[in-house]
Each structure stands twice: as C-alpha cells, then as structure tokens.
C-alpha cells in the first residue's frame, strides 16, 4: 500500500504531457511541397498529433465545446506551421469577409493564436485570422490586452471544406521573439470565435471568463530539435514623392514638391536580440487620426502611435502610466533601437534625433498648455524582469533640447503582481526633473529646475458572483514627461467600481448591477470632479448590450479659485450585431445638466456618439462614426455646439489591393466664435509581393478661416529579407 501511494504521488507530481506536440518535417515529408493554401491535405499534416480538447467560455463557462476544432503543428529549421480545422454543420454559417490588416472585428468567425515563446504568461504574439483569410496581429499583454499596431512577417491562408473551414499559418522563426538558449517549452493557446444569434467562444485550454490572464492558461508546445539561432537581417527602402498646395485664407497660393528616400535596417545577431536603425525615416501616416470632439475640454487629446519604426518593442515600453509615448518624436532625422528578449527579462533602448516642430504638452490640474517643440535628442531605456505571471520593471527617459534649452528626465519603477488568475495588483512610481521651462516666445528655454512625482496603484479581482476594482493616482504639480503623455498633473484621484452579477435569464445572457465612485482633487484639496452613481448592464443575443446609469450629483470645478458646479445626468449605451451585412450598430448618450468648461456655466444638453458598420459584400466595408455635444443655458441660449463625423469606405480589389476613402469633418460653434475643418482622403494600396508595396494618396484639408491644403503622394516600400 505505501508503494502504491508513493507511485500515485509521483504520478501527480510529474509534468503533464504536452498539449501540443509539433511534428518535425523530414525528407519523406518534403517529397511533396508544403504549401500555405489553407488546406491540411499534405501527408505531413496526417503525421502531426491532433489537439481537439476545446473548452467553451461563451455563452456558457466551463463546458466542453459543442463544435469540434482540431489543431496540428509542424516545424522545420526555419518556421512553425499551425493548421486548424474548424468544423461547422452549416457550411454557410461561418462569417468572414475581406478586411484590411488589423481590422477584424467580433462579428466574424475567426481563429486566434497566442504564442508565448517565454512560456511565463507575461506576453504573447497574437494572430487572428477569419474564415476568408483576413488577419490581425500584434502583441497581447495580460494587463493591457491586445496591441495590434505591430505587424510581423508571416503567411496565412484559409479554405472551406464540406463541414467547416480550415486555416494554415506559417510563422518564420525570424518573426518571433524568443531566446534560443531557454530550456523551458514555448506555450500556445488557440481560440475560436463564432458569431451566431449567440456568440460562441472556445479555447484549447479551460479559460474561465473571470480570469485576468488568458495566456496564463496556454499549454506547452514541444518542438523537436534545437531552436534556430535566429541570425537574420532585413533592409527596407522607402521612397516618397509628394506635391503640396495651399490656397485661400487671404494668402497667395503656395506650392512645394518634396521627395524623400529613407532606409530602415534590422539586424538580428541572435534569436533574442534585435538591432534597428533608421535614417531619414518617412513617417507620413496613411491612416488619418480618428475624429474627436475638442470643443469642451482644456486637456490634450491622446492619439495612438502608428509609425512602424516605434512598434518593434512597443509591448515592452507599455507601463501603467503613459510614461513613454513615442509619438512625441515629431520629426526624427535618425533613430537607433536595441531590443533584447529573454525568458526572465526584456530590455529596450531607443534614441533618436528629433528635428522638432511639434508641441510640448505642459499639463496642469485644470488644463494642458502647449509650447513649440525645439530640436532635441530623445532617449529611452526600459528593463522588465519576469517571475512567473508577475513582473517588475525600471524606466528611464531623457529629452535633451538642443541649443542649451534644458532637459526633461524621468526615472521610475513599476510592478505587476498576479496574485491569482482573477486577482491582480499593479503599481508605478515615477520622478521627473525638468530644466526646460516655457518662455514668453511660445517655446522652451533653460530655467530653474523643477521636480515632481507620479504614483499609481490599482487592484482588481473578478469572482463568479461579483468583482471589485480600485485605483489611486497622485501626480504632483512639477511632474512632466516630455517623452510620454500626461494631460493632467497636480491632482490626486481615487476611483472604485463594484459589480454584482445577477445571472442569466430567458431573454438575456448576463445581468450586472454596479456602483462607480470617483473623486479628484488638486494639491490644495479643492474638488476638481466627484461623482458616485449606480448602473446596470445587460448582455443578450446578437452581441446585444444595454447599459444604463444615473448620476444624481456630479461636482466639477474648472479653475482653482472658481465655484464648484453641480449637475444631474443620466446616460447609457445600446449596441447590436444584427446580421452578417449590418455588423454593428451602437449608440451612447449622456443627457441632462452639462458643464461648459470654457464658459464656466451649467446648462442643459446632450453628448451623443453613434457607430454603424455595414458590409454590403465580402469585398466592401462601410463605417460611419458620429459625435455631437450640445449645451444650452437655462434661458435656452446656445452655449456650445460641437460636432464630428467620419465616413470610412474600403473596397478590396484583391487579396493585396484596396481602395480606401475617408471623409471627416469637425465643427465647433460658440456665441462669438466658430471653427472646424473638413478632410477628404483617398488611398490606393497595392502589394506586389511580401516585400514590395506602394501607396498612392490624395488628401484635401479645408480648415475654416485658413488656407485650404491639398496633397498628393506616392510611397514605395521595398523590403529585402
């Protein structure tokens, strides 16, 4: 009996068998070419072990998946091949449609692949592919979710078969971030999303809905043979020619042409190290910034980074506070970056010469001021140390303004503690030292050095019947991060959210009641904003959701010595995915008493936003976004009318060709002022092959009261691998 007990204990303590076992391609397999065509009919796929143990997360949690999904993995000396068969009894049910890269949405049927090459549940490269081969890719972080801005070179294709659809992905080792010397296995998690009257979501591991770390449930992926050392280089040459014209606004017509040749180099001396260099980079944006309302705020509006050079190590640079925001490098002449990823630690260093020309944000408690950005040298260092699902990091940032105009430096540390799959704590502490101070000429000059700090602490837990979250922030008046994004400092803020989960009913899938509280004060203790309000959220079929809340008392102050305004508001959100053609309808609103922050008065008004997506054919997409903010005084006089709209239309002329049209406008009207602009953009993109592409674009910008601007550009990009 003791021997039997000992054997049982040893079996329990032994490592579990790998959930994914890759088949190593040999000479016999390669008698027939292995194509990435979406089909799993090559003989090698039949030799690969099958993983088909999928678990349901939606609509029911913890049950076996009702539809079969099979995963197979192949490997050779250069790449991984992942094949998936998604069985479906209705051959017409899977929803696909062509889409631009990183534009997949939940209204489609798709497969998600999370590959954690460190095997610690800290981060993963993520890839989503829908039933027609459209894809999104990027990084996934347990605390921050998906960052789909980075793009990686890989191949993916899908195919339909009688009984479902299949996917084949080829992931070159050169496009993966890993340490070839590590001994622990990689981990893989596969997710399947189906859009029907009821959304269904399955995972290759038992992922509970309450977990905060989805990739912590990923299972080992065993790859026979040694991992490649990873030596690799890549060069990208870009040529841009543009013609620019300004006409009207009481000024003579001005025209100028411009041409630019840039070079990006990527060197990978080993699997864990990447060296990047860029010379005279072209950072023209083929994507317009999204339309936003700006007429009732005194704070800077955030815009995400979209430029490829800065996206290599973007997941390492993420911290709880936006201490690093590379978009502050407005016009780099050159840049250098080192990225090092190992099993227990990551390192990123970046430095670039910025010609300036943008704006430096000078945040305060009641608004953001701006100064013209002088030329500067911007440098960043970030180190991240991992222990299981927890981590801690160090951050250093320096902005040295040329011509003796001073500097801004930031130093700090942060940590993430994953106490349980559904319980997490994050913290960050930063200090800043600034000698570059605003001058009377709307720029920066060396002045008296100021210092400050920024502190952040948040904790949250999610349980089957309830969840709690609380966040505390303390930002001193002297804190500044010129390489980051802070629109407000000199404040203390505390917020909390409690949710009670009331379960499922006949006509709804979820019913939650919640209470939100928040309070923000300046350093003297004056209330800037305070509110406490209840609400309900209901989720139902067709991705339907209804959220309603009532704010009986909102207190706001717009300046330190000003009055404290009080208002009563109610609002909500309603959304629906009706069909494969009408892929999303959504409306959000806030009604009641509204504060006009510029006029310093409370009136009656409404804040509205609406979204509509329509796919009239698999090769066409239309999206309309509308925003409106209106406030009237007690006597009925108009205080503010702020509107913004964007219409986006995309026609996919082929798997690599697309034509995109964007029209957007914004308009702000007050009793004695009005402003706004209209923008139209037409972009044709043609991809010749994996390494060559070109863009032809036309943009027409018409700001009210200023000169109209027109620009045409041709951008060629060629990459040698």
In the prediction, which pLDDT does 9 show? 33
- Quick one: which H or E segment has residue 8? helix 2-13
CB distance 351 to 380 below 8 Å: yes
Give the whole-angstrom CA distance, residue 567 versus residue 477: 28
Long-range contacts (CB closer than 8 Å, 24 or more residues apart) made by 530-536: 530/554, 530/555, 531/555, 536/511, 536/512
Tally Cβ neighbours within 10 Å of residue 183: 7
pLDDT for the residue numbered 309: 77
Average pLDDT of the residues of the chain: 88
**Residue 142: both structure tokens together:** 């347990």
Give residue-wise pLDDT tens across range 464-518: 999 999 999 999 999 999 999 999 999 999 999 999 999 888 888 899 999 999 9
Residues paired with 540 in a beta bridge: 544
b/e burial code for range 419-452 (CB count within 10 A of at least 16 → b): eebbbbebbbbbbbbbbbbbeeeebbbeeeebeb
| Closest to 164 (Cα-Cα) out of 194, 200, 205 | 194
Percentage above 90 pLDDT, the chain: 53
534 vs 638, more confident: 534
196 Cβ neighbours under 8 A, 6+ residues apart: 93
User: ∠ CA(671), CA(673), CA(675), 5° rounding?
Assistant: 130
The candidate with the shortest Cα–Cα distance to 218, out of 230, 203, 232, is 203
The answer to whether residue 15 scores a pLDDT higher than 60 is no
Looking at residue 7, what is its pLDDT? 37
Q: What is the mean pLDDT of residues 597-613?
A: 92
Residue 5 φ/ψ, nearest 5 degrees: -65, -40
Please tell me the distance from the alpha carbon of residue 156 to that of residue 154, in angstroms, as a whole number: 7
**Can you give the pLDDT at residue 230?**
67
The residue that leads in pLDDT, 702 or 14, is: 702
- Per-residue pLDDT at 17 exceeds 60: no
Residue 283 has pLDDT above 70, yes or no: no
From residue 231, how far is each of 15, 78, 79 by CA, in Å? Answer: 32, 11, 13
Burial class of 635 by CB neighbour count within 10 A (0 to 12, 13 to 18, 19+): exposed
The three-state secondary structure class of 159 is: strand
Higher pLDDT pick, 719 / 118: 118
Tokens of 584: 């999303």
| Residue 10, H or E segment | helix 2-13
Identify the helix (H) or strand (E) that includes residue 5. Answer: helix 2-13
**pLDDT exceeds cutoff 80 at 348:** yes
**What is the b/e burial string over 683-714, where b = at least 16 CB atoms within 10 angstroms of the residue's CB?**
bebebeeeeebebebebbbbbeeebbbbbbbe
| DSSP 8-state code for residue 15 | P
Binning pLDDT at 50, 70 and 90, where does residue 343 land? confident
DSSP-derived letter for residue 488 is B
Q: How far apart are CA 110 and CA 160, in angstroms?
A: 13
Handedness of CA 36, 38, 41, 47 (dihedral sign): positive
Looking at residue 370, what is its pLDDT?
93
Mean pLDDT of 565-590: 94
Q: How far apart are CA 493 and CA 607, in angstroms?
A: 24
Distance, in Å, from the CA atom of 95 to the CA atom of 92, rounded to the nearest integer, reads 8
pTM of this prediction?
A: 0.86
**What whole-number percentage of the chain has pLDDT above 70?**
95
Which residue spans within 288-443 are E strands per DSSP?
332-341, 345-354, 359-363, 368-372, 376-387, 390-401, 406-420, 423-438
Query: Backbone dihedral region of 107: left (phi > 0), alpha (psi from -120 to 50 degrees) or beta?
Result: alpha
Confidence of residue 597 (pLDDT cuts 50, 70, 90): confident
Residue 288 confidence class, pLDDT cut points 50, 70, 90: low
Inform me whether the pLDDT recorded for 111 exceeds 50.
yes
pLDDT: is 563 or 103 the higher one? 563
Counting beta carbons within 10 angstroms of the beta carbon of residue 225, is it exposed (0 to 12), middle (13 to 18) or buried (19 or more)?
exposed
Averaged pLDDT, 433-451? 94
* Contact (CB, 8 A) for 401 and 374: yes
- Cα angle: 233, vertex 238, 239; to 5 degrees: 155
The whole-number average pLDDT for the span 218-234 is 82
Q: Where residue 249 falls among pLDDT bands split at 50, 70, 90?
A: low
- Model confidence at 282, pLDDT cuts 50, 70, 90, reads low
At 7, is the secondary structure helix, strand, or coil? Answer: helix
Give the span between the Cα atoms of 101 and 133, in whole angstroms: 10
> Would the pLDDT of 659 be above 60?
yes
Q: Which residues contact 17 (CB under 8 A, 6 or more apart)?
A: none
């Amino acid at each position: 009996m003791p021997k039997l007990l000992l054997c049982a204990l040893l079996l329990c303590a032994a490592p579990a068998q790998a959930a994914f076992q890759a088949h190593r391609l040999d000479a016999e397999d390669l008698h027939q070419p292995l194509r990435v065509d979406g089909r799993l009919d090559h003989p090698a796929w039949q030799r690969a072990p099958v993983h088909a143990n999928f678990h349901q997360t939606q609509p029911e949690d913890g049950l076996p998946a009702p539809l079969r999904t099979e995963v197979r993995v192949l490997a050779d000396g250069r790449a991984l091949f992942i094949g998936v068969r998604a069985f479906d009894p209705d051959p017409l049910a899977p929803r696909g449609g062509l889409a631009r890269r990183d534009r997949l949405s939940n209204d489609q049927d798709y497969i998600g692949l999370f590959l954690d090459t460190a095997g610690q549940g800290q981060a993963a490269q993520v890839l989503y592919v829908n039933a027609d081969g459209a894809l999104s890719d990027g990084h996934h972080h347990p605390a921050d979710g998906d960052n789909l801005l980075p793009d990686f070179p890989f191949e993916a294709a899908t195919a339909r078969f009688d009984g479902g659809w299949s996917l084949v992905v080829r992931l070159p080792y050169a496009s993966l971030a890993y340490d070839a010397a590590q001994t622990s296995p990689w981990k893989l998690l596969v997710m399947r999303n189906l859009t029907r009257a009821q959304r269904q979501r399955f995972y290759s591991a038992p992922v509970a809905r309450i977990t905060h770390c989805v990739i912590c449930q990923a299972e080992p992926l065993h790859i026979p043979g040694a991992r490649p050392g990873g030596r690799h280089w890549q060069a990208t040459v870009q040529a841009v020619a543009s013609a620019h014209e300004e006409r009207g606004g009481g000024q003579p017509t001005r025209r100028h042409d411009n041409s630019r040749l840039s070079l990006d180099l990527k060197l990978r001396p080993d699997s864990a190290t990447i060296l990047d260099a860029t010379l005279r980079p072209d950072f023209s944006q083929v994507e317009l910034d999204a339309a936003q309302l700006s007429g009732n705020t005194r704070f800077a509006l955030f815009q995400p980074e979209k430029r490829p050079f800065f996206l290599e190590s973007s997941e390492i640079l993420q911290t709880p506070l936006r201490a690093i925001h590379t978009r502050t490098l407005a016009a780099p002449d050159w840049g250098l970056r080192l990225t090092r990823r190992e099993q227990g630690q990551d390192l990123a260093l970046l430095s670039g010469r910025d010609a300036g020309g943008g704006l430096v944000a000078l945040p305060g408690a009641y608004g953001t001021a701006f100064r013209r950005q002088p030329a500067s040298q911007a440098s960043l260092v970030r180190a991240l140390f991992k222990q299981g699902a927890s981590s801690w990091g160090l951050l250093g940032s320096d902005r040295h303004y040329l011509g003796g105009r001073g500097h801004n430096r930031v130093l700090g540390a942060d940590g993430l503690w994953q106490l349980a799959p559904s319980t997490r704590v994050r913290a960050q502490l930063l200090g800043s030292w600034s000698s570059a101070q605003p001058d009377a000429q709307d720029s920066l000059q060396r002045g008296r050095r100021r210092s400050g700090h920024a502190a952040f602490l948040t904790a949250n837990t999610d349980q089957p019947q309830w969840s709690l979250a609380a966040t505390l922030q303390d930002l001193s008046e002297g804190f500044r991060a010129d390489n980051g994004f802070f629109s407000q400092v000199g404040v203390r803020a505390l917020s909390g959210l409690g949710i009670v989960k009331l379960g499922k009913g006949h006509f709804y899938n979820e019913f939650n009641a919640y209470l939100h509280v928040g309070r923000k004060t300046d350093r003297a203790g004056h209330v800037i904003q305070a509110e406490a309000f209840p609400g309900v959220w209901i989720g139902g079929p067709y991705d339907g959701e209804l959220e309603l809340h009532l704010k009986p008392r909102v207190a706001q102050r717009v300046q330190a010595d000003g009055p404290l305004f009080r208002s009563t508001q109610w609002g909500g959100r309603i959304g629906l995915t009706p069909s494969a053609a009408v892929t999303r309808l959504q409306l959000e609103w806030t009604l009641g008493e509204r504060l006009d922050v510029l006029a310093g008065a409370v009136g009656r008004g409404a804040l509205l936003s609406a979204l509509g997506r329509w796919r009239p054919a698999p090769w066409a997409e239309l999206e309309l976004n509308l925003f409106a903010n209106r406030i009237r005084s007690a006597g009925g006089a108009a205080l503010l009318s702020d509107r913004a709209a964007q219409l986006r239309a995309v026609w996919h002329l082929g798997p690599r060709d697309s034509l995109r049209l964007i029209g957007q406008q914004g308009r702000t009207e007050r009793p004695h002022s009005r402003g706004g602009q209209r923008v139209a953009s037409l972009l044709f993109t043609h991809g010749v092959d994996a390494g060559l592409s070109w863009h032809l674009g036309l943009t027409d910008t018409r700001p009210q009261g200023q000169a109209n601007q027109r620009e045409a550009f041709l951008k060629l990009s060629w990459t040698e691998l």
